[in-house]
Amino acid sequence: MSAPDELAPFGYRQELRRSLGGFSAFAAGFSFVSILTTVFQLFGFGYTFGGPLFFWTWPVVLGGQLLVALVFAELAARYPLAGSVYQWAKQLSRGFLGWLAGWMMLLGCVVALAAAAIALQVVLPSVWDGFQLVGGDPSVTSPTGAANAVLLGTLLLVFTTAVNAGGVRLMARINDVGVAAELLGVLVLITGLGLFAVRGPQVVLHDAPGTSAGIGGVLASALMAAYVLYGFDTAASVAEETKDARRTAPRAVLRAVLVSGIGGLAVVVTALMAAPSLTDGQLAGHGLPYVITAVFGDTLGRIFLADVAVAVVVCTLTIQTGTVRLVYAMARDGALPGSSRLSSVSPRTGTPVAPALLSGALAIALLLLNVGNPTLFSTITGTSVVVVYLAYLLVTGPLLIKRLRGRFPAEPGRFSLGRWGVPLNGAAVLYGIAMIVNIAWPRAEIYDLGGSGSPWMLLFPIEFVGGALVIGWLCWLRLRPAPALEPAI
């Protein structure tokens, strides 16, 4: 079956340009995860809560997300369509639930887009203090640091919006180069930290001297790993632009999870081994930039942090790429307000321009609402995890029900979990539920750093999800007559 014919059974025609190879598909998933961006962004947070023991949240989250990725890889082989999570959920659930997965994933992507953009604040002021444009304390938990994060993030979002509107080839070229630089940077970082280690890997077996994280602290620290290891489905979201997508997309999804998970785990343990001190407050307060400059020296450290800044740019670019494909996929089904405009593909660039502009504007608006808020990082990252994990659960849950009813038989010649489908799918569902409860738990240390005691702050992720459900239901009532919203099977 030729590439254009692959879309015909689903009622679509080939509009996007199918020009991406296997590495570009993998790069889309890997750079969404972007371990240099996200590990640098939240290393200090994880250490603050769990001390060296926060390392153990990594293998737990990696194992759980690998279960989800295996399920997604099977779906990617069957439904090689733009919009991944939305398309899969639509095929598995009728009516509102199928649409809701796409809606929640869309909101999660917008929140993740904003969260990635503000990660520049973690690295750029450490490269050169001139990047602290608003002056004051550059710490992300200070009002001046949070305000500067919004400014830098807004400038970055303007750039990524322009690139995404310019076409998939331009995006892919920047992404491929950025991913290659990030992979090289990860290898250099792991090697360098390992060579300058001042303690052995057994550091992850005990609390730091004089501290006691406790089980509650370790559970809270799981936000770091949970935030890092999602978005790998973007490797499948560009399926309509990928050559031989039925074979390429499943491999790209699994490789993105494994490479990111193993690489991130190695960065965490070697950073703990090389940190000059575990107890002076620097590791919690300044995170990995402190370790980098202490180990590599000021000049080399700044050069490496510049590479991290490149990873942040590419990460933000790719998150927006995935968001654009999701908006396009839903809009061509008439599943969003203003669908006719949002589903339009530019004949010049071969890409949906309106979704790029919309996603960039929404992410910037979300940042501007939080100017000077010291809980900016933890609130946005925690909320993005809850929303995206819920979207994932709206795929893995209905699929498990179909398996138990015997309505999801293996298709010969395509990636399949076979007899392991039910236990692996079931484990993925349980993991998703447990992680949503853990991250949404109303912890003042995450959602109310200012100590206001306001229940509105403590319950922000729950309130966000509740508001999303209400607005989504109202949208659904308006859009429900659209026939393309019904599943193809």
pLDDT (0 to 100) of residue 481: 44
Q: What is the pLDDT of residues 458-484, one digit of tens each?
A: 898 999 999 999 999 999 988 874 444
Tell me the β-bridge partners of 20.
242
C-alpha dist (Å) from residue 407 to 9, 147, 247, 403, 411: 19, 52, 23, 6, 12
State the Cα–Cα distance between residues 427 and 429, nearest whole angstrom: 5
pLDDT (0 to 100) of residue 487: 42
Summarize the confidence of residues 201-219 as an average pLDDT: 84
pLDDT (0 to 100) of residue 126: 84
**At 380, is the secondary structure helix, strand, or coil?**
helix
State the Cα–Cα distance between residues 55 and 52, nearest whole angstrom: 6
Beta strands in 233-291 (DSSP E): none
Summarize the confidence of residues 122-133 as an average pLDDT: 88
Assigned token pair, 8: 């015909």
DSSP 104-133: HHHHHHHHHHHHHHTTHHHHHHHH-GGG-T
State the Cα–Cα distance between residues 394 and 97, nearest whole angstrom: 7
pLDDT (0 to 100) of residue 16: 83
pLDDT (0 to 100) of residue 378: 77
**pLDDT category of residue 489 using cuts at 50, 70 and 90:** very low
| Residue 48 pLDDT greater than 80, yes or no | yes
Q: What is the pLDDT of residues 351-407, one digit of tens each?
A: 899 999 999 999 999 888 766 666 666 788 888 899 999 999 999 999 999 999 999
pLDDT (0 to 100) of residue 372: 62
Q: What is the pLDDT of residues 56-104, one digit of tens each?
A: 999 999 999 999 999 999 999 999 998 999 999 999 998 899 999 999 9
pLDDT (0 to 100) of residue 211: 65
Instruction: Name which residue leads in pLDDT, 9 or 417.
Output: 417
Instruction: Name which residue leads in pLDDT, 141 or 385.
Output: 385
CB atoms inside a 10 Å sphere around CB 483: 8
User: Which residue is listed with tokens 């570009």?
Assistant: 24
What is the pLDDT of the chain when averaged over all its residues?
A: 89
CB 324 within 8 A of CB 240: no
pLDDT (0 to 100) of residue 364: 94
**pLDDT category of residue 485 using cuts at 50, 70 and 90:** very low
Summarize the confidence of residues 166-177 as an average pLDDT: 85
pLDDT (0 to 100) of residue 482: 47
Summarize the confidence of residues 111-129 as an average pLDDT: 87
pLDDT (0 to 100) of residue 414: 92
State the Cα–Cα distance between residues 240 and 232, nearest whole angstrom: 16
Residues contacting residue 96 through CB under 8 Å, at least 6 positions apart = 473, 476
